[in-house]
Amino acid sequence: MNTIKGPAIFLAQFIGDEAPFNDLRSICQWAAGLGYKGVQLPTNDLRFIDLQKAADSKTYADEIKGIVNEAGLEITELSTHLQGQLVAVNPAYDSLFDAFAPVQVKNNPAERQKWAVSQLNAAAKASQNLGLNAHVTFSGALIWGMVYPWPQRPAGLVDAAFDELAKRWKPILNVFDEHGIDLCYEIHPGEDLHDGVSYERFLSKVNNHKRANLLYDPSHFVLQAMDYLEYIDIYHERIKMFHVKDAEFNPTGRQGVYGGYADWIDRAGRFRSLGDGQVDFKAIFSKLTQYDFKGWAVLEWECALKNSEDGAREGAQFIKDHIIRVTGRAFDDFAASGSDDAFNRSLIGL
């Protein structure tokens, strides 16, 4: 078995315009001061990493890695959540998702998609240049707005959408394979890949591509009332990344999974800081350790109530306390009687 690496922190929710959150060196020093050992880097902010440059220049990638290492940290993975979203956008969401795109491709869905694909391809090469082995993204969504079948979905619509989703992603998956990087989809409401069934449908469309893997985040399954522990049993061979994020789901006579359009603080399902929600992290860390998960335990902080800096400070210790340092021997070795092949055969009458 393998001891899970960590604690690490996803920087996306902490980046800002004030020190120490406004440049890579400062934010890494801040994270190290809280006890983190790794950082997961978003790639949509040039103050932290120029993704295309990291793909084109091993020297630049080494400089980025050096800044992180100087703080006593490692880069765990890169993230293209926002760019991945733009690989597949239903036209109804074009104007909203233009916010994720650079000025030169806004109001031009075809060019925006080409840009997103180029970003994913760059992420594969940049990850290789940085010495990483996994990358996280979103799948995008062509039919999320039709997730509840009313009016009735036309026959063949779901297959058509997943055929197109696979057509867009398979060349990207091939690029990741060329560079030896696992592409991990964060299974997430709002994406066409939002649960196990939708992931399996996609996987079949890309011919079970070996690089079409998973980031495991139990918070999204709590909010869907899914069994997040059985999910590990089912998909552990595909789980290559882990976001440690808490959540709670408290349905009432007035609202449930859909939340009634309420603000986050008033929803039945809410993201919470680590330890403040309902996720059984002892069971999760046990299962991932049992299945020999070799990646990082990465805090993704989101909470409707708590200050982010408090969440980060508490989260480092929370993850540290939950990482299981694996044993090197069986607990009952003290009672071992020793054996050899002849002795074993004699015990069964051979």
- Could you list the mean pLDDT of each consecutive 10-residue stretch along the chain, which spans 350 residues? 96 97 98 98 97 98 98 98 98 96 97 98 98 98 95 96 98 98 98 98 98 98 98 98 98 97 97 98 98 98 97 98 88 68 88
Domains in the chain, start-ordered, CATH in brackets? Answer: 5-348 (3.20.20.150)
**pTM, two decimal places:** 0.95
Amino acid letter at 16?
Answer: G
Q: What is the pLDDT of residues 140-194, one digit of tens each?
A: 999 999 999 999 999 999 999 999 999 999 999 999 999 999 999 999 999 999 9
Query: ∠158-160-166 over CA atoms, to 5°?
Result: 100
Q: What's residue 331's pLDDT? A: 64
Q: Within a 10 A sphere around the Cβ of 8, how many other Cβ atoms? A: 27
Q: What is the DSSP letter of 218?
A: T
Q: Are 271 and 221 in contact (CB under 8 A)?
A: no
Report the pLDDT value the prediction gives residue 283, as an integer from 0 to 100: 98
Phi and psi based region of residue 177 (left: phi greater than 0; alpha: psi -120 to 50; beta: remaining) = alpha
Reference 114, options 89, 146, 77; nearest CA is 89
Distance between CA atoms of residues 2 and 288, nearest Å: 9
Residue 197, H or E segment: helix 196-205
Q: Contact at 8 Å (CB) between 84 and 116? A: yes
**pLDDT value, residue 333:** 66
Buried residues in 42-57 as b, exposed as e (16+ CB within 10 A):
bbbbeebbbbbbbbee
